[in-house]
Amino acid sequence: MSVRHARIADELAAQIHRLLAGQGPEVQGAAIADLAAIWLAGHLVLGKPDATATMRRELFDAHCRAVWELVEHYDARRK
């Protein structure tokens, strides 16, 4: 990811953080799940549903790995 894209992502995350702040974990989780589903649904291999499903699974797995790395990062910052 370019520095420019990272900066944009950080700014969006800060905006979303403000929207989720104060909401319960159920609401936060549901909103994040919905956004993830919208993101994944935007990835298509036209005319190839099996390839679409495979690509989405690979993207989701990579995304989950990135999330866990970020959890470790934020946990380390608290220590």
- The string of DSSP letters for 14-61 reads HHHHHHHTTS-HHHHHHHHHHHHHHHHHT---TT-HHHHHHHHHHHHH
> Is the pLDDT reported for residue 79 higher than 80?
no
Tens digit of each residue's pLDDT (9 = 90 or more) over 16-53: 999 999 999 999 999 999 999 999 999 999 999 999 99
Average pLDDT value for the chain: 95
Give domain limits for the chain: 24-78
pLDDT at residue 78 in the model = 87
pLDDT at residue 74 in the model = 92
Read off the pLDDT of each residue in 46-63 and give the average, rounded to a whole number. 97
